Amino acid sequence: MLAYALPADATDEYIKIGESTAIVCMQRFCRPVVKVFAERYLRSPTSDDVARLLYIGEQRGFPWMLGSIDCMYWKWKNCPTAWAGQYAGRSGSPKIILEAVADYDLWI
């Protein structure tokens, strides 16, 4: 589900487990990952972090750059009908954009 950005119900065809089992497995995987990495990697940057990242960017020839940005479009399955047109792209289905910035040592 994480590697291919698949919804839980699509895993039935690929790995032959049901939607509810896939969701439970994903939760059992994500909880320890968050517990282990949240304090260091899954937090907002402090002013010291920002200063360090700006310094590294300047040393590499990219002043005022915190890191590399990446965007991903996710299909919004339960988008409210009133908002659907506002979030629909060329595909016609509502999607939201997930943006992430990573520095050179993959701190997101």
pLDDT of residue 88: 82
Query: Per the domain annotation, does 29 fall within a domain?
Result: yes
Query: Per the domain annotation, does 107 fall within a domain?
Result: no
98 within 8 A of 71, measured Cβ to Cβ: yes
Note the pLDDT tens digit of each residue in 28-87: 999 999 899 888 777 778 899 889 888 988 888 888 887 777 788 888 888 888 888 888
Query: Per the domain annotation, does 19 fall within a domain?
Result: yes
CA–CA separation, 102 vs 108, rounded Å? 4
pTM of the model: 0.46
If one counts the domains in the chain, the total is 1
Query: Per the domain annotation, does 22 fall within a domain?
Result: yes
Query: Per the domain annotation, does 20 fall within a domain?
Result: yes
| Residue 22 in this model has a pLDDT that exceeds 80 | yes
Domain, as residue range, for 1:
1-38
Query: Per the domain annotation, does 23 fall within a domain?
Result: yes
Q: Which two tokens stand for residue 1?
A: 């589900």
97 within 8 A of 71, measured Cβ to Cβ: yes
Who has greater pLDDT, 4 or 72? 72
Query: Per the domain annotation, does 33 fall within a domain?
Result: yes
Query: Per the domain annotation, does 21 fall within a domain?
Result: yes
